[in-house]
Amino acid sequence: MTTMGGQVMEMELWLTDKETEHFKMQYRVKEVLYRDRSPFQEIAVIDTAEFGRALFLEGVIQTAVRDEFIYHEMLVHVPLTIHPNPERILVVGGGDGGTVREAVKHPEVKRVKMVEIDEQVVKVSRQFLPELACKLDDPKVELHIADAIQYVKHVDEPYDVVLVDSSDPFGPAVGIFTEEFYGNVAKALKDDGLMVAQCETPFYTPQLTRDVYRAIRRHFPWVRLYTASVPAYSTAPWGFMLASRRELENPWPRRELGFPTRYYSPEIHKAAFALPPFIRELLDEGEGR
C-alpha cells in the first residue's frame, strides 16, 4: 500500500478464469496463499474477496469456501437419498474433501473410499481448506492415492454409489469423461448401484453434455441430468449426470436427511431434475432422437 498525492493506493490483483474463449470471470485476490506445481498440475489456493479461500487447478476454480456447499450437497445427497441403502461409497477424485465430508453425514454409509490421483491436492486442502478436508480422517473414510481410472478397472467388492468428483476434462481428468471409464464404473457397482458424475455446464459445453450422456447410456439403462447453480463456477447451472444400473421409477428422495443442509432439501432435489426444453433437446440428441 502506497500513497499518491495523499490518496491511499492499493495494488489490485485479479485472477482471470475463462468461462469460454469469449467470456471471462475475474476474482479479486486478497492473497495468494499457495502456488506450486505437483507431478500432475498447477495447484493454487487463493484468498478471494468475493468467495473466500478457493482452490484452483491449472488456473481453473475447483471449489470456494463461500459456495462449495451447493456443489457438494447436490453431488452427494441426491444419489444417497435415492439409493435404498448406500453403505459402500466410492469417491473418484474429490481431493479437497468436500464430497467425503457430506457422504459421512449419512448414517447408512459405512465405508467411503476416496481415490485421488494427486496427493498434493489433499495436503494443500488439509492445510488451507479445513472446512472441506475436515472429515478425511473420519473412521469411515479410506483415502487411497491412485489413479481412479485404473482403480475402477479392478474393484473386488462392488460399491453401492460411485461419486465422480473430478476436475474439468483436461489434465489428469481427461480419461474420466470417456465411455471406457463409465463402463468400468458400471462394473464396480452392485446391481442396484448408482453413479453421479459432475459434467460441466449444459449451456456452455452442450457437446460435452451430449457426449457424456451418450457414453453413460451405453453402460447404464437409466440416466438423468440434474443441475444446480454454483456462483463461483459459472454463470450457467452446473450439470450432474445420475446413472442407475437398474431402471428407476423416478429420481425422488426415498428418505429425509437427519442433519441440516444449506442448499439441499427434498424440494430442491426434485426441482433440480426439471430441465428447460432447450436442455432437454440436447439429451434427446444424445439419445439419437
Q: What is the Cα–Cα distance from 289 to 272, expressed in whole angstroms? A: 23
Q: Does 277 interact with a copy of itself (rule: CB under 8 A)?
A: yes
- Is the Cβ–Cβ distance between 152 and 181 less than 8 Å? yes
Q: Does 170 interact with a copy of itself (rule: CB under 8 A)?
A: no
Rank residues 37 and 255 by Cβ distance to a copy of itself and give the closer one: 255
Shortest spacing between CB 273 and a copy of itself, in angstroms:
8
Question: CA 82: distance to chain centroid?
Answer: 18
- In the chain, DSSP finds a helix count (H) and a strand count (E) of 9, 14
Shortest spacing between CB 215 and a copy of itself, in angstroms:
25
Q: Does 127 interact with a copy of itself (rule: CB under 8 A)?
A: no
Q: Which of 96, 165, 192, 211 is catalytic?
A: 165
Q: Which stretch binds a copy of itself (CB under 8 A): 16-24, 88-96, 157-165, 190-198?
A: 16-24
Q: Is 212 buried (19+), middle (13-18) or exposed (0-12) by CB count in 10 A?
A: buried
Q: Are strands 60-64 and 141-145 parallel, antiparallel or unpaired?
A: unpaired
Helix (H, G, I), strand (E, B) or coil at 218: coil
Q: Which stretch binds a copy of itself (CB under 8 A): 110-118, 183-191, 242-250, 258-266?
A: 258-266
Q: What is the Cα–Cα distance from 202 to 213, expressed in whole angstroms? A: 11
Within 226-245, the residues that bind a copy of itself by CB under 8 A are 229, 231-237
Helix (H, G, I), strand (E, B) or coil at 6: coil
Within 65-124, the residues that bind a copy of itself by CB under 8 A are 67, 70
Q: Which stretch binds a copy of itself (CB under 8 A): 34-42, 190-198, 251-259, 266-274?
A: 266-274
165 is catalytic: yes
Q: What does residue 28 show for φ and ψ, rounded to 5 degrees?
A: -70, 130
Rank residues 84 and 258 by Cβ distance to a copy of itself and give the closer one: 258
Residue whose cell numbers read 486478497: 30
Q: Which residues are catalytic?
A: 165
Positions touching a copy of itself (CB under 8 A) are 14, 16, 19-28, 48-51, 67, 70, 203-204, 229, 231-237, 260-265, 267-268, 270-272, 274-278
